[in-house]
Amino acid sequence: MIRHLLSVSAAAITLAALGASPVAAQSAAERLDQLDARITRLEDMNDIERVQRTYGYFVDKGQWVPLAELFTEDATLEIGGKGIFLGRDRVLEYMQTAFGKDGAKEGLLANHMQFQAIPDISEDGRTGWIRARAYVMSVGWGLPLYENAYEKGEDGKWRISRLTGPFTMYTNWEGWAEYGMNNTWPDKFDPPPDLPPSVVYLTYPAYYIIPYHYPNPVTGEAFLPDMGEVGAYHRPPGNPEQEASMEVGRTEKGTQPVAQPPRD
Amino acid sequence: MRLHRSFLLIAGAAGIALSPGVAAQPVAAQSPEQRVAAYRERVDRLEDQAEIENLTAMFGYYFDKGLWDQAASLFARNGRYEYGQSGVYIGRERIERAMLLMGPQGLAPGYLNNHMMLQNVIVVAEDGRTATGRWQGPMQLAQPGANGQHAVGVYENDYVKENGVWKLAELHFYLTAKTDYDRPWPQGAVPMEGPSALFPPDEPPSEVYRSFPAAYIPPFSFNHPVTGEPLTDLPMAGDDVTGREAIPFEPADGSGPEAESGPAR
């Protein structure tokens, strides 16, 4: 595709390249600085996606030490409803305590396939963000989202500075038409978190929309999910109050609720 | 994309030759010509990566539908194709025939051969002539008369630029788990097939391993993105059948290897 575009007229291209300032007012050095910044931005988006994809490969095979090395020293990590862990050391402790010591183990499948990333880089090129998802093939199926932040260190390397991985749906082998697993909670398993969850929500068949780090790309408007409309009800599944709450926040032609209530 | 075309035009108009190594100098010390040359190289590498990503994804769309002739045409002259434990087939003609072992050209009714390809980590060599790529490969499979299957594996591919076009130098799919559609992984695990007796490969499997429930980590082609260290000798349980020894986990605190990652059983 890139090559096809070379046939576009030189005048149009030159104007497109130079952004806001009139061509005549710019020195060659300024134009080159702008080019450098734009190439760097593409490289940076590439790099943070690479970090996120590598994170996925490490989760798959239980490689917690190299996984923790993807984080900044003061990074935070919050997965599902487990609460917030502070710092790279706690990231490592969380993984090794909750999921066992490092290593690919016989009979264990924990694939966290990473895709659909929306990478963005700050104006100053020091901070990045990704919204992405993973499709989990493990003891069942799972669908976490990510709204992560990344920092470019003095060494020029990008690291995860905040991993926020809210769950959408986890189910067992019967499938999500039959079974929906509750979100996790702080004391569901060791280790305990440093801070409570940033938000309390339920997973499928309820849903929660983690705020988007970017505006609508066409309208330019920020979209802020309304907690009252997203079905983030607070009652446990399977009781009348929860049944009633299934009526809250459903879009008229939405896909929810599912055919059967979840079992715990 | 706007960046690419505008940049190339400027570089082209200036008629500037490539001068590798310029990037190491501080920007202030570089002439405009040197800067353009350095930027051109960086854009070249981004374009290379985009083309390799497309090439691989296009292979996947052909492969899904049993368009073996199209899929095989994407290989370099002496391209290598290795799927699971089926051995290595070399050259486009042999690769195309090997693919026919999976089903007829243009999938017949009742087949599902979805090989999704995602999560790529592509590394283009500095000279822009070769590249590597790791991909995650979940699959949805069906054949007439048999129950469907879920499966997953990892691609570790090599690429080469021939006459300005990126091609597959090697497609190596490490199938790592396959299971019956209706049964959990441990109970429904389906072992990999070995090399075909009907149409034997040119070389035996380059790496002997078992898929799930055995533990196996397909070797990483890229280094750790932060530390830069090669991702080799990662802790992994051993395999009694293939005889591969366990690689134990050794905590940084010097407390010694962890027994949990020891040999199978």
Going residue by residue through chain A (264 aa), what tens digit of pLDDT does each one get? 444 444 444 444 444 444 555 666 789 999 999 999 999 999 999 999 999 999 999 999 999 999 999 999 999 999 999 999 999 999 999 999 999 999 999 999 999 999 999 999 999 999 999 999 999 999 889 999 999 999 999 999 999 999 999 999 999 887 887 788 888 999 999 999 999 998 888 888 877 888 899 999 999 988 877 654 444 444 555 667 656 655 544 433 333 333 333 344
Cross-strand bridge partners of residue A71: A160
Q: Which chain B residue shows the shortest CA-CA distance from A137?
A: B152
Radius of gyration of chain A (CA): 22
Query: What is the DSSP secondary structure assignment for residue A211, as one 8-state letter?
Result: P
Pick A101's closest partner by Cβ from B3, B35, B249.
B249
Cβ-defined contact of B6 to A63 (cutoff 8 Å): no
Question: Does A158 reach chain B within 8 Å, measured CB to CB?
Answer: yes
Q: Which chain A residue shows the shortest CA-CA distance from B212?
A: A107
Residues of A in contact with B8 (CB under 8 A): 2, 6
Specify the pLDDT at position B8: 40
Same domain, B246 and B167: no
Report yes or no on B18 lying in a domain: no
CA distance B198 to chain A (A): 32
CA distance A247 to chain B (A): 32
Specify the pLDDT at position B251: 83
CATH number (domain holding residue B69): 3.10.450.50
Question: In whole angstroms, what is the distance from residue A14 CA to residue A25 CA?
Answer: 14
Residues A112/A60, Cβ–Cβ less than 8 Å: yes
- Rounded to the nearest 5 percent, the helix, strand and coil shares of chain B are 30, 30, 45
Pick B184's closest partner by Cβ from A46, A50, A173.
A173
Report yes or no on B12 lying in a domain: no
pLDDT digit string, tens, across residues B214-236 = 999 999 999 999 999 999 999 99
Same domain, B91 and B129: yes
Does the pTM surpass 0.90? The reply is no
Same domain, B95 and B224: yes
Complex ipTM > 0.85: yes
Residues of B in contact with A119 (CB under 8 A): none
Specify the pLDDT at position B21: 47
Same domain, B192 and B145: yes
Q: What is the set of domains in chain A, with CATH numbers?
A: 21-245 (3.10.450.50)
Calculate ∠ Cα B200-B73-B68, nearest 5°.
Answer: 60
Probe site for chain B from A35, A89, A99 (most B CB atoms < 10 A): A35
Out of A89-93, A202-206, B5-9, B137-141, least confident range:
B5-9
Specify the pLDDT at position A226: 61
* Boundaries of domain holding B126: 65-232
Question: In whole angstroms, what is the distance from residue B233 CA to residue B212 CA?
Answer: 20
A residues 9..28 contacting B (CB < 8 A):
10, 13-14, 16-17, 28
Specify the pLDDT at position A133: 97
Report yes or no on B261 lying in a domain: yes
pLDDT digit string, tens, across residues B161-213 = 999 999 999 999 999 999 999 888 878 999 999 999 999 999 999 999 999 99
Cβ-defined contact of A35 to B138 (cutoff 8 Å): no
Q: Which residue has the higher pLDDT, A92 or B21?
A: A92
Is the pLDDT reported for residue B13 higher than 50?
Answer: no
Report yes or no on B10 lying in a domain: no
Residues A211/A224, Cβ–Cβ less than 8 Å: yes
Question: Does B10 reach chain A within 8 Å, measured CB to CB?
Answer: yes
Question: Does A264 reach chain B within 8 Å, measured CB to CB?
Answer: no
Report yes or no on B106 lying in a domain: yes
Residues of A in contact with B214 (CB under 8 A): 106
Same domain, B244 and B134: no
Question: Does B259 reach chain A within 8 Å, measured CB to CB?
Answer: no
Pick B215's closest partner by Cβ from A1, A47, A104.
A104
Same domain, B149 and B180: yes
User: Quick check: helix, strand or coil at residue A164?
Assistant: strand
Report yes or no on B54 lying in a domain: no
Cβ-defined contact of B226 to A42 (cutoff 8 Å): no
Amino acid code (one letter) for B52: I
Question: In whole angstroms, what is the distance from residue B75 CA to residue B60 CA?
Answer: 13
Same domain, B69 and B189: yes
Pick B226's closest partner by Cβ from A2, A32, A159.
A159
